[in-house]
Chain A
Amino acid sequence: MLKRNQLILGNKTLADITEDICKPVETLPSKGWVALFLSAKTLLIFYVIILGIIIANGMGLLGVNHPNGWGTMIITFVFWIGIGHAGTLISAILFLFRQKWRTSVARTAEAMTVFAVMTAGLFPLLHTGRPWLDFWLFPYPNQRGPLWVNFRSPLLWDVFAVSTYATVSIVFWYIGLVPDFATIKDRAKNKFRRLAYGALSLGWRGTARNWSHYEMLYLILAGLSTPLVLSVHTIVSFDFAVASLPGWHTTIFPPYFVAGAIFSGFAMVVTLMTLVRIGIPQFKDYITIDHMEVMNKIIMATGLMVGYAYASEFFIAWYSGNQYERFVFINRAFGPYGWSYWIMVTCNVIIPQLFWFKALRRSIPVMFVVSIFVNIGMWFERYVITITSLHRDFLPSNWGQYAWSFFDSAVLLGSFGMFLTLFLLYLRLFPAVSIAEVKPVLHVGRKDLEPSSGGHH
């Protein structure tokens, strides 16, 4: 059996861990954080204004048109939903598989999931023509007959999938936070902190009984979340796959979307973790190069899966003998939007191949750049799927280009403002590494796990 390197570096004691992790929550923010937060918040305010203008005037402000009924909002929705997948995968699936390395990154990855789902969730609500009537998308008792929703529509499935996912991941994340909130409450030096974190910790006292219930609940929630990792993006892919449009109507979409989601999610985790390591230096001991390397391996593996999906789509288009299907794929790669296809292939398939080299997948600057490229590539993947399929379909007289406008750029950029604001607040207010989960994976008192060359004194 392969022996792992130490999961936590720096020969920490239990007290060190508590101290390290609570420090960002208990000290004044650094100048770097303030600068980042102010920028992110400005972007968020800009985003709110832009969304307000769009709601006031209509979807016509964006580039959506005939034949491109969906555009930036749906593309960016799928992008953010995909990002969310890594968190649940790390926290739930890896938990069930007893992958101990997950403990250091799980909390932040889950936070990312929650924020990404929140960011994503706004889009399908706002991209409708009359967003003030979005509640019609939910089945609720009403006096119109009652008029029910259309259970055959993938968009409705989407409503359920995304709302379930959001609920379960928030609960799962929160439950994991409870013991740590109690720790912060106990360390609190003023009444307000004690009160706030006391309330958040739901009366956690750390008794054996508490722990026993907690472990059981955590396991159940992990079990509940696990199928969601697969189902959410499967259902999101149904939005496309169940439609009859060539380029959308394909059976490969569910696994392809899930692989892509994990791919993009891990890339985003890597992006954020490299930044967290810079911003909070003591976390370098918890989120080690080893952690990053594991995630990079997953990026490479899922990148290959995505690449395989791209290739197999082309093969099936050719093999089907369907002229519309064939045309869409040829047009996708060589039509007016060919550039976006090649950006996607470059970023998602070619660039992650760098991780074949150990030195590169352990290099922070390299992985940061690669993860950014993967993020870009995965946004373009959704762009390619949505736009290149819609813009040239059956009747050539309908063909047209997407009318990209200022508002498309603003919405895309603004969504990062929302995500980053939430994420930065999280780093300051919540313990970004799970104190309760990290402690058990320490080497303290476990000679069998100590590496021979460990600097243990």
Chain B
Amino acid sequence: MQNNHHDHDHEESEEILAQKKAARPDIQRDNKYWANLEQYNNDPEFWKAAEAEFQSSPLRGEKEEGWARREFLKLMGASVAMASAGCIRRPVQKIVPYNKQPEEVVLGVANYYTSAFYDGLEPLSVLVKTKEGRPLKVEGHHEFPLSEGGTSARSQAALLSLYDPERIKGPRKNIFNEKRSNKDTIQIKWDDLDDQIVEQLKKGQVAVLTGSLPSPSTRSIIKEFCQAFGGQHYSWEPLNLSDVSVGQKLSYGEAAIPYYHFDEAKTIVSIDADFLGAWHTPVTNSRQFSKGRKNVDKMSRLITFDSNYSLTGANSDIRFKIKPSQQITVAMGLAYELIVKQGKSSYASNSLVKSTLENFSTAAADLGIDPAVFAEVANNLWDSRGESVVVAGGLPTMNGQQSSLQIAVNFLNAVLGNDGKTIDYKFDWSNSLSASWDGLLALIEKMQAGQVKTLVIHRTNPVYALPDSLGFQEALKKVDVIITTSDRMDEVAQHSHYVAPDNHIMENWGDIESTTGLLSIHQPTLRPLWDTRSFQLSLMTWAYLADRGPKRLLAYESYFDYLKNYWKEEIYPQAGKGKNFETFWQELLQNGYVGSAPQGAGSRSFKTEALNQVKKVAATDGYELVLYPTVQLADGSQSNIAILQELPDPVTKIVWDNYVSCSMATAEKLKCKEGDLVKITVGTRDMTLPLHIQPGLHDSVLAVAVGYGRTHAGSIANGVGQNAYQFANISKDSIQFSGQNVGITKLGKRVQLATTAGHHTMEGRQIVAEATIKDFKKDQAAGLHKHHIWSMWSGHQYNGNKWGLAVDLNSCTGCSACVIACQTENNVPAVGKAYVLQGREMHWIRIDRYYKGDMANAEAVFQPVMCQHCDNAPCETVCPVLATVHSDEGTNDMAYNRCVGTRYCSNNCPYKVRRFNWFNYRKEIPNPVHMSFNPDVTVRIRGVMEKCTFCIQRIRAARNTSKLEGRPLKDGDVKTACQTSCPTDALIFGDMNDPNSRVSKAFAEPRSYGLLEEWGAKPSVRYMTKIRNNDQESASKDGGAHAEA
């Protein structure tokens, strides 16, 4: 599928290229023609006037900051998808005219290009589906060794940031007053911008601040650029992993961000590391984690110690609630249990270790955990030593003691002999996730000292994501000229002199180094929509115009040429394996990557003296703050995408807001109910947020998500929630996001939090069937009440294919990638908070989350629910106009054109998966968002019912392909959008009439059951029991949820 269809002529030999290059005319970059003196002098006033010349409407003016409903409706379309084949854009290197149809471009047939997604958490190799030169959908890259086809909700939504109507359409200049207090931007030409910037750069003292840069060629360009102008490169972003890498350095002497083999681990203990949710590389982790649990008999055990109710906590077999100040106690307590109490491991004879550990002798009691249970966790780890892994990290662990925590965790892993086995430090993420706090703090110091004349900011947003108390904005004022590459007038751009907008990643060439030695390349999928220029080319141009820097930087006219040459010089020699470079390059573009999966490394020796700094954190009274990134918005950089804002938080199921989470007991103590506005105070900073009562939270914890409260991200994100980054305490000595003492007061007002989950328990019904591993080993159908179902009717006959979908609840982590994948594939709109409150969200696939057990220690289960395509579909019989009918392949089809909209089908659907177009959502879609619509899927008009179609368009496409190839459809030819996006392979689609298909085999498993099977609708979707790998065992034979009914 991922054939590279770019009709590049780069197969041509190098000589021809060189000749061509010599024949190229010089690039004219000066202003040849001028209209008047003002323009000649480049008077900013002139440009301002020129810009406004043809925009004379009196209505034009400063945009309203608030969220007028109309305005919102207009822009919420920013996340909807629809078809129109009008715009044909192709990458600049390969314009293909259609007067002679190119071999590989067939109208209506999709091409897939290897591409990449990167948002600060994870460099992800993906495929982008394009039709007629228009990117339409992000797909997983199945051959890529780490994610193996998995994607995340955020990567699926990246397409909509490409088509975001609020991207700036060209370079801009900010006309500041003396104090830089105004915000007045005008358009500027690239040539003028370049000239002005080059003049400034020549003055030296240049700093380049970027986010993590997984691209080796970009790093190389920055390095050479810095050489040219005497600059320095700093790398920072809010969710950086410097805690892990510093911890590694202190423990082993070498900094690293190791790769964790979650697939090989038998016991996984996570201390606040939300590795399935929004810690680093969640897709890779989810993929590998799920592999370790596919074989139920040998599945791994996940034990979490959770300050927030994280997605990882929700997926754990055993979850303990803690508060941030207890994280070290957990790690050291487990070590104490093993080494001191049980005398295990060679460290038992080490007196230094023993004396350090003595401080933690009361760990279980401190944590409020039954000592026997705590000891059992330690024993679990010990029993699977060498095959276990302990991880900690992320914002909830940034309590100022994160280095100690990392040392403690590294020590525990060393004791267990995991280092070099499940923890692969040679296969290192450090290059791709290089951002750190040191860099930023050093830069701020330099800026404050006035040692930075020019600051280039790329792909990071310190103005938004740093607390004001750090003084970054004041420091910015001491910089003469600030240049940013923001794609919108965001918080950084507001403070910058020049905005030199970068291309979207899908408009750009690039490369990505995931872990050491695993490199991938991404190709542009369309010509830049607007007058933007890649960051790399900007740097190259400035160096070229100043005529400074290494030869390599000046020699190329485009970033693509630099990139290719860089690969030829730097990567090809090692990775080429004797192939001709052009062959290597072609194969690379097709495969998208070179390198292989990690193999394991030898163990290192742990520096026991590092343990000296590990001190018990003094217990505090009061409440402790936990800041955490969410699965949907992560660091907040993509928050102007409405479908991400409307993606329910996997655990709380709340959309369009952040809030303070607290436990039920705390809420009762505060006399608060869900949605009550509260003021939380950390030191001198306070914030007003609604309260959310979260089962399973520690009573002393108040948790708030970061990534909200953007002020200049665009009309969708602005004003949604509050910016919780403001609560961070950043200084040279301590980086603190969590664990701060926080005060809370009730304000007496209540707002409604928009949630997509109506109710949180299963009311004793068999909805998500669950069994413990011990029950499962006794009876593979444990937890299931099999209903006796009979019918007087023999049922439909399906002679060809009969489509079915198996959902493995034991694999599903609730990450919600499928929800966004479905929305982009099927042109499903976002509707906005007001309508979610009225129960009008449009998701075709939703992930139901239920809690189990008592409020204080609730366990969570997830269940994706989409149209079940019932054989005896209740919706079909009641539609008066036959708009929903059964196909001879077992799907339940919707004829939108025929639908009158009685909504009877929805009423009669026991699963309530049908969605109604209450308004004409498509009318509100701004240009160019309509370009993102999948042309294979109808965009629904107001007043019709819609629902999951089993991606019928994909079935048709696969059938066409098989017909052309003269063969029957085979298993795996058809993959639904939700299935291809799933990082854990929890969804299996296929032909139930083929006994050898994966889906038939899954259906035949004893774990398989139909949702509301007893209702007799005969769904074509079947679920497989969730297995919890804990030590519980049910006494009753029937077991499971039904027993309570």
Contacts and interface: CB of A to CB of B under 8 A. Distances in A.
A150 B879 CA distance: 7
Given A150-B879, A397-B850, A129 B903 contact: yes
Name, among A58, A129, A133, A393, the residue most crowded by chain B CB atoms within 10 Å (CB to CB). A129
Interface string A375-397: 00000000000000010111111
Interface stretch (A59-67, A270-278, A286-294): A59-67
A244 interface: yes
A65 B838 contact: yes
Interface string A126-163: 01111001101100000000011110111110010000
Given A67-B839, A399-B759, A152 B900 contact: no
B761 interface: yes
B839 A395 contact: no
A309 interface: no
B942 interface: yes
B109 interface: no
Interface in A431-454: none
Nearest to B1015: A244
A160 to B, nearest CB: 11
A69 interface: yes
Given A243-B878, A244-B910, A400-B758, A147 B903 contact: no
B907 interface: yes
Interface stretch (B164-172, B200-208, B916-924): B916-924
Interface in B866-913: 874, 877-882, 898-904, 906-908, 910-912
Contacts of A48: none
Given A58-B943, A60-B918, A245-B908, A396 B760 contact: yes
Interface string A303-336: 0000000000000000000011001000000000
A396 B763 contact: yes
B912 A58 contact: no
B942 A137 contact: no
A64 B903 contact: yes
A394 B908 contact: no
Contacts of B850: 396-397
A351 interface: no
B865 interface: yes
A57 interface: yes
B272 interface: no
Interface in B814-852: 835, 837-841, 846, 848-850
Nearest to A150: B882
A128 B902 contact: yes
Interface residues of B, number: 58
Contacts of B880: 137, 149-150, 153, 155-156, 159
B840 A395 contact: no
B764 interface: yes
B881 A395 contact: no
A94 interface: no
B805 interface: no
Contacts of A39: none
A403 interface: yes
Contacts of B470: none
Contacts of A242: 878
A136 B901 CA distance: 11
A155 B846 CA distance: 29
A398 B846 CA distance: 10
Contacts of B841: 66
B918 A153 contact: no
A150 B881 CA distance: 6
Contacts of B685: none
B758 A59 contact: no
A129 B759 contact: no
A76 to B, nearest CB: 16
Contact of B918 (A58, A243, A401): A58
A396 to B, nearest CB: 4
A257 interface: no
A70 interface: yes
A390 B910 CA distance: 10
Interface string A107-143: 0000000000000000010011110011011000000
A394 B835 contact: no
Contacts of A57: 919
Contacts of A392: 758-759
A155 B878 contact: yes
Contacts of A390: 907
Given A58-B943, A398-B912, A137 B900 contact: yes
Given A129-B944, A400-B758, A243 B901 contact: no
A129 B912 contact: no
Contact of A396 (B759, B919, B944): B759
A147 B848 contact: no
A58 B942 contact: yes
Contacts of A401: 839
Contacts of B906: 66-67, 69
B670 interface: no
Contacts of A239: 904
B801 to A, nearest CB: 25
Given A60-B919, A323-B765, A128 B838 contact: no
A128 B900 contact: yes
A239 B877 CA distance: 12
A22 B841 CA distance: 59
A130 B882 contact: no
A69 B916 contact: yes
Interface string B725-766: 000000000000000000000000000000001111111110
Interface in B912-940: 912, 914-920
Contacts of B1045: 323
A136 B899 CA distance: 9
Given A60-B840, A244-B874, A395 B943 contact: no
Name, among A124, A127, A242, A324, the residue most crowded by chain B CB atoms within 10 Å (CB to CB). A324
13 contacts: A59-B901, A67-B758, A128-B901, A129-B903, A153-B879, A245-B910, A323-B765, A323-B1045, A395-B910, A395-B911, A396-B850, A397-B850, A403-B838
Given A133-B900, A152-B877, 13 more contacts: A65-B839, A69-B907, A69-B916, A70-B907, A130-B941, A150-B880, A153-B878, A153-B879, A243-B908, A244-B908, A394-B910, A396-B761, A397-B850
Interface of B: 757-765, 767, 835, 837-841, 846, 848-850, 865, 874, 877-882, 898-904, 906-908, 910-912, 914-920, 941-945, 1011-1012, 1015, 1017, 1045
